[in-house]
Amino acid sequence: MFKKIMTKKKALETIASFSTVKVLVVGDIMVDQFIWGKVSRISPEAPVPVVEVTAETLLFGGCANVVNNIFSIGGKVAVTGIIGADEMGRWFIRECRGKGIDTKGIVVEKDRPTIVKTRIVAHRQQVVRYDRERKNPIDSSDLGIMLEYVDAVKGELGAIVVSDYNKGMITQKLIGGIKEITKGSGIVLCVDPKQNDFSFYRGCDVITPNHQEAERALGIAFTSYEDIVNGGRALLENYDFKAVLITRGEEGMILFERNGSITNIPTVAKEVFDVTGAGDTVIGVFSLCVAARASFREAAALANHAAGIVVGKVGTAAVTQEELQKVL
């Protein structure tokens, strides 16, 4: 199937050009915290396990995982979003700067904590997860700062990713402002949605819902391939997208384009250990490809190969350029 979409030569040329293009990620910045340990007894205070902590890991989460995917595969990337005036926020800034990622678009808000998802894992089993977050919409001053940043860097960009985790960062005013700034620029605006109402994203170039997100947006359940085809066409027509890429897990993905083209892309994953963050890999690689002037079909095919690699890893993972070149 891949050879029908693009040649190996074109694929390798596209991957090699990642370092020459830049993508801006806009969205909900998170930190994924993993606390690793072992359990040997039950607490005398309550019927819960006592976890003896042996290690701790911090990873980029939320839209920051999209940032990490773009960085890991060799692309230039910048990010705009909100963190708190706290240690996790400072850790995120340090990590970005250590990777050479532009942090000028990151807004520090005193009354809003950095979003942290903490998972306590013992003997390879997650014992509990707890989240620190505030979901209230961003205020107008923060919105203004971020839109000023988008305007300042637009000349460097080939694509923008709106990574919506429904934590209050992505608003219709923000999306409207980005569309106004980038109008006529050739910058491709890609959206990974979490809102059920896709009118929220109307007029963006590409949207990449998974199977369930597409169902919720349409208010129907897909019971057949024909349902998915009709649903993809409806999303294109109803919300003025140029393309809709529906990801279907082990069934691969389907790309719908405004010209009427429908492309089925079967999965290439050999083994699936963990689908966590696979959507972030898809939109990160897809956006890099279109920034490098690949077609939507070519970008989807390469993103599918990248997702096939990442689901073979455990936890929020990323793909390297060498890994993607190897599977081709």
Query: Over the stretch 185-213, which tens digit does the pLDDT of each residue have?
Result: 999 999 999 999 999 999 999 999 999 99
Per-residue pLDDT reduced to its tens digit, 114-134: 999 999 999 888 999 999 999
Among 60-64, 173-177, 267-271, 321-325, where is mean pLDDT lowest? 267-271
Residue 215: pLDDT band (50, 70, 90) is very high
Q: What is the mean pLDDT of residues 58-81?
A: 95
pLDDT one-digit tens code per residue, 17-43:
999 999 999 999 999 999 999 998 999
Residue closest to 38 by CA, chosen among 46, 29, 23, 49: 49
Average pLDDT, the chain: 91
CA 116, CA 244: separation in Å to the nearest integer? 30
Query: Can you give the pLDDT at residue 94?
Result: 97
As a whole-number percent, the residues of the chain with pLDDT over 70 amount to 94
Q: Tell me the catalytic residues.
A: 280
Q: What confidence tens digit (pLDDT) does each residue in 268-296 have?
A: 755 554 455 678 999 999 999 999 999 99
The DSSP output letter for 226 is: H
Amino acid making up residue 3: K
In the block, which residue shows the tokens 């290690």? 55
Q: How far, in Å, CA of 174 to CA of 264, rounded?
A: 33
**pLDDT, position 74:** 94
Domains and CATH numbers, the chain: 2-29+62-327 (3.40.1190.20)
Check residue 269 and give its pLDDT.
Answer: 58
Task: Give the pLDDT score at 321.
Answer: 83
pLDDT attached to residue 313: 58
**Sequence-separated (6 or more) residues with CB below 8 Å from residue 181:** 147, 150, 151, 154
